[in-house]
Structure 1
């Protein structure tokens, strides 16, 4: 297990890091299986994945480390991960969520998938097929540190957008940083607690997801 034996070989060849094979009788490298999303395969010749991706990181498939880091030129692959994920139930789309690269700087104007709480409890079993084709630039993408506006639980196959009413203001978070500040509201995927001031005629207590209208007979001027 964890090895393959081409025709005429004198000894078994181990499956490379980032892959495994749980059976006997493999004949070629192509039979070695990429490490599944959410897990990593640290050693060559593995018959099973080594363990779960560390909290604060996500492993999108084929990871050889619990803390994968992607080259900044592959940062757009995160969008493909979110677009191509097999988990689509109750997913919504949000505009202009913060993107990231390995320098920790933000870039705006990119779509990202906001996944519902029910989805967080499910397991991704397949990587988007287009990511792993040899001709595609993202075929070498294995995951990365969790970007701003998202958090990554242990065993994450992709980043989870920060929940409404909270904010995720740095990379590598395993949970939201805290509730939205009073006087402000934080929609899903927020990266700052003071980004959206409560509008006139509404009030926003600590952890507000959307502004609440002032009751009849009251007024809020600022």
Structure 2
């Protein structure tokens, strides 16, 4: 059957990536995946079909219908699953640890290095005349 130009389809269409379409949905962008989640495949039926942003990455905007994460966590921060910012204030790298870009968790400074500040992406070499044992040992 041929439809006239501009006519709406009379059959269901798969919900697009980044969105979910429960029973009765009338627009492909009516229900974006919740903040901190994404959906890379079409056909989601509920918000539970949207996946939490992976560890080390973030999914920022609610309502944008992201089919993939926005990017990696910034140096100095770590991102457990479901983060909404590249710099989550609740997950600043603690003293004695470092968090390079995309860190899912803090890493202890190794022997011979130290980090006296929070939210840093690397450790500093131990100065001459001192020794620095690994953090957490």
**TM-score exceeds 0.5:** yes
Q: 1:190-205 to 2 correspondence within 5 Å?
A: none
Q: How does 1:150-189 map to 2 (within 5 A)?
A: 150-182=97-129, 184-189=130-135
Q: How high is the TM-score relative to the length of structure 2?
A: 0.80
- Distance in 2, matches of 1:33 and 1:180, equals 45
Q: CA deviation at 1:16?
A: 1.4
Deviating above 4 A after TM superposition, structure 1's stretches of 4 or more consecutive aligned residues are none
- Structure 1 gaps, min length 5: 71-143, 191-222
1:10-48 superposed Cα distances (whole Å, 9 cap, x missing partner): 223000121100000000010110000000011231100
Aligned to 1:69: 89
Q: Give the conservation status (yes or no) of the 8 Å contact 1:167–1:180.
A: no
Unaligned runs of 5+ in 2: 1-16
| Corresponding position of 1:51 | 71
- What root-mean-square deviation, in Å, do the aligned CA atoms of Structure 1 and Structure 2 show? 1.3
Q: Which has the higher strand share?
A: 1
Aligned match of 1:42 in 57, 60, 67? 60
In the TM superposition, residue 177 of structure 1 has moved relative to its aligned partner by 2.5
Deviation per residue, 1:101-122 (Å, 9 max, x gap): xxxxxxxxxxxxxxxxxxxxxx
Distance (whole Å) between structure 1 residues aligned to residue 60 and residue 51 of structure 2? 13
**Partner deviation per Cα, 1:133-191 (whole Å, 9 max, x = no partner):** xxxxxxxxxxx110001000000000000111111101011110332441x3221117x
Q: TM-score, normalised by structure 1?
A: 0.50
Maintained 8 Å contact 1:40/1:64: yes
Identify which of 30, 33, 38 aligns with 1:15: 33
Tell me how far apart the structure 2 counterparts of residues 41 and 31 of structure 1 sit (CA, whole Å).
15
TM-superposed deviation, 1:8 = 1.4
> What residue in structure 2 maps to residue 108 of structure 1?
none
Equivalent residue for 1:149?
96
Q: Matches of 1:3 and 1:181 in 2, distance apart?
A: 56
